Amino acid sequence: MSTVTEPDAAASPAAAAAATGAPDGRRRAVVLVANRGEIAVRVIEAAHRIGAEAVLAVSQADRDSLGARLADRTVVIGASPAGQSYLRPEFVAQAAMQSGADAVHPGYGFLSEQPALCEMLEAEGIAFAGPRAETLRAVGDKSSARRVAVEAGVPVATAASVDHPDDLDEVRRLGDEVGYPLLIKAVHGGGGRGIRLVESAEDLLRLVPQAAAEARVAFGNGDVYLERYYGAARHVEVQVFGDGEGRALVFGDRDCSVQRRHQKLIEECPAPGISDERRRILHDSSRALVRLLKYRGAGTVEFLVDTLSEDVVFLEMNARIQVEHPVTEEAFGVDLVAAQLRLALGLDPELPEVPALPPAAAIEVRINAENPEEDFRPHPGLITRVEWPRGPGIRVETHVEDGYAFPPFYDSLMAKLIVRAHSRDAALAALRSAASRVLIEGVPTTLTLHDFVLSHPDFARGAVSTSWFGPVWAERESQRKETAQ
């Protein structure tokens, strides 16, 4: 199901050299990038940075994308634009073999945390730029990840697995054990999906069977569990990198508390307003987890930090690069993606030990093709004009350009705008300025949301909770509608 597109030597001398060998006669390493959008562009750039050839696996819909043009070669996987191309491990494994790949980088989402792809590649002697299959299994299932966290001495919230969602007496007993309010979570969920807030036993009895049924449809598995809910908590995560043998590097922490329906909107490094003691708990816990797992490559350990009790509790581990990894890279001056590729290719990842706090502050906003004034309805379409800000400390991660037909088949992320400065206040001021200079015509975007949040005094003070954005945005929308009448 794959087709290799050979480079045009006349149009791309670099691509021709990659196909025939480096000028000094040594073979360049070949990296297959098994993803799309801005993360595909990011990985291609990292592959070129370490001197490797980048081959991009694309669906029919992405054959003319920016990533396809930046890659040395492309491999078309799948037969239909709206198909499941990027979700089929056998397609990616076949493309890797056909293109002569030494390593495959899965980006985030899609197959990035699927053991099946890792095993298929390893059977063919192709490296996977990520953890081992057994590690993916250990942390991919939230119940299993919790057990591993407990073994590593990581603090966890009170929780209980629901083995029989139709046994309402058992469900009631488990709910009473965990305590209210609580969350119902899909064991195999992700990205904020499959989560229900429950305030009472009556709601629990009604919602658990529904949540289990929805989880079966969305994730192919109906397992759910209950977890104590912290209503005034912050979402703080720790960036880690392991060598696969027990060495654990920690690259600070990020605050991802500005969320809408459990989806992150803005991220920053370091997390503001965290005490030295809480930061030590976050970093030491993450380091212990990496060592126990003998984790390989980049990963993120996610926590809740309760704003009232300051309790720190483990949420999950994401065994991949994160959407928000650029804020960590900018704050610490490292290249995590290049390090992933170097490690996968058997090289020194060339990452230094770093202090708990970075020398700079960085903030990132996600720009989506959505209309915030229509309940964030996605808006694919033709992008007629794009302009990005420039200047010291400004970084843009995107696959969007003039004339790009934003497809309806995938998520709505268009770009990430990241700003770095010597302090959080300076970074926030610079980001306000940079965001105001972004121009995207043809489709609505979430830039109005970011203008609102970045100018809000609560956000300026820092340390907002995960429940902050919903009410303040609803109030803003109510006022806007009243004014329009």
By annotation, the residues acting in catalysis are 320
Phi, psi (degrees; rounded to nearest 5) at 37: 65, -150
| Count of C-beta atoms within a 10 Å radius of residue 49 | 13
In the sheet with 182-186, reading across from the earlier edge strand, the strands are 159-162, 224-228, 182-186, 195-198
Q: What is the DSSP string of 138-151?
A: HHHSHHHHHHHHHH
**DSSP 8-state symbol, 130:** S
**DSSP 8-state symbol, 294:** T
Residue 390 CA neighbour count, 13 Å, CB half: 1
Nearest-angstrom CA–CA distance, 38 and 40: 5
Q: Name the pairing type of β-strands 103-105 and 30-33.
A: parallel
Nearest-angstrom CA–CA distance, 67 and 47: 12
Structure tokens at 398: 């995107």
Q: Are 28 and 36 in contact (CB under 8 A)?
A: no
Structure tokens at 72: 């040395």
Structure tokens at 186: 């899909």
Cite the DSSP H helix spans in 270-310.
276-293
Cite the DSSP H helix spans in 220-313.
276-293
* Contacts by 116-125, CB closer than 8 A, 24 or more apart: 116/89, 117/34, 117/89, 117/92, 117/93, 120/89, 120/90, 120/93, 121/93, 121/96, 124/93, 124/96, 124/97
Structure tokens at 480: 């806007």
Nearest-angstrom CA–CA distance, 364 and 131: 26
* Contacts by 215-223, CB closer than 8 A, 24 or more apart: 215/186, 215/187, 215/188, 215/189, 218/186, 218/189, 218/193, 218/194, 219/186, 219/188, 219/189, 219/194, 220/188, 221/186, 221/187, 221/188, 222/165, 223/143, 223/161, 223/162, 223/186, 223/187, 223/188
* Amino acid of residue 356: A
Residue 440 CA neighbour count, 13 Å, CB half: 29
* Amino acid of residue 449: L
